[in-house]
Amino acid sequence: MSDSATSASPVTFPPAFLWGAATSAYQIEGAVREDGRTPSIWDTFSHTPGKTAGGETGDVAVDHYHRYREDVALMAELGLSAYRFSISWSRVQPTGRGPAVQRGLDFYRRLVDELLAHDIKPAVTLYHWDLPQELEDAGGWPERDTAYRFAEYAGIVGEALGDRVEQWITLNEPWCSAFLGYASGVHAPGRTDPAASLKAAHHLNLAHGLGTKALRSVMPARNQVAISLNSGTVRPLSPGDPADRAAARKIDDLSSGIFHGPMLHGAYPRTLLEATSSLTDWSFVLDGDLELIHQPLDALGLNYYTPTLVSAADPDAKGPRADGHGASEHSPWPAAEDVAFHQSPGEQTAMGWSVDPTGLHELIMRYTREAPGLPLYITENGAAYDDKPDADGRVHDPERVAYLHGHLSEVRRAITEGADVRGYFLWSLMDNFEWAYGYDKRFGAVYVDYVTQQRTPKSSALWYARAARSGALPAPEQV
């Protein structure tokens, strides 16, 4: 029984626990042609007919580029102690090469200064999927040179902001960049080459290692460097069935081991290399790469939304792949045609993702064992629901309140069991451009009217504000 199960034991958090919210550049900034910014792969992808819902783009998004002061004031009103945001690579270093554009860096300098003026700790993510288009034209993440271009970019941003920003994340969810971008094609750049996706994964790992070294070469030693992984909580449909357990191991290798293996342990899982041998011999892993990737981390970011339920595939069964990662004839799981995905039981969000807070607890405890002594942050957790204002303009979202209460209760349970979880970043601060889903899916704690750009805190934002100020979880109905 968790400590949330009894009113005699309020769910309280350590005094220094960070209560944050998260966003990403392309999803909120807009201003895609201002101050020297050049197109990223998401500009190209979203402007390609048929790639996003309704043909919607991030050209304006929620206009954060011009409204950042209003947004930071709103964060302060909600009692946030931290804000995780990403840098637009092509705003800072157009085309992904050469010197920085100071006008682009100046936006992030102003944003950081505004956050610090409101006693909100900035946490910078260097890469949240928006590769400069010219680097994709040169081959993108399947090309080794892209990792070196990332390191150059990391050094530019670290030198500009490292005196005021202490928390740094190299990459957000490299699994999505590699496999949704280059295998299933439901994310930018929309390629469908499973062998290339495995190359992309390795070069993203290399970029993390090189970027970490670049950051540390230009920043004060006090700064923390981390990465945010969306490692799966993968469960076999029938735990007693060896074939289902083997299926779970294959998907766990592809979602988690392919990244944390070299990052935390200096090697790719043997089972991963064997399972993908029909696609590649992994000769793109050069001497010294694993040592470069295996840089000491100061913290690890974990992103969690829903567990993954798999079994050995029935060769006669036909139907859509229920993995929650968009509709495509091409799989984001290279060499995993023998694995079937199943809808996990329970309530579902507007994304069709099952609500299961125990999966977050399971993920935290896994990495507590996987990397003992490494501080953890929940760098994304949240849910999309079909939120609408009522007649008075208020937005009630009791489902999201319950979602947050359940997941934060599991974070606290993990802490009581010895996990070193130091903060939680709700996804997302506000409604925004939800990638290929356009503006149809609302993850925000703050409602955005996309016509007027008016921001309205939902019930979940008010509930979360109470939690952030008190360090304890209010009952879900207390808003």
Known catalytic residues are 173, 380
Burial of 417 (0-12, 13-18, 19+ CB in 10 A): exposed
Percent composition of the chain: helix, strand, coil (DSSP 3-state, to 5): 40, 15, 45
Closest alpha carbon to 380 in 84, 128, 111, 15: 84
Closest alpha carbon to 433 in 40, 137, 120: 40
Cβ atoms of 252 and 232 closer than 8 Å: yes
Quote the CA–CA distance of 308 and 404 in Å, as a whole number.
19
SS (H, E, C) 63-91: CHHHHHHHHHHHHHHCCCCEEEEECCHHH
Cβ neighbours of 332 (radius 10 Å): 27
The sign of the CA dihedral 247, 252, 255, 257 is negative
CB proximity list for 469: less than 8 A, separation 6 or greater: 79
Cβ atoms of 399 and 407 closer than 8 Å: no
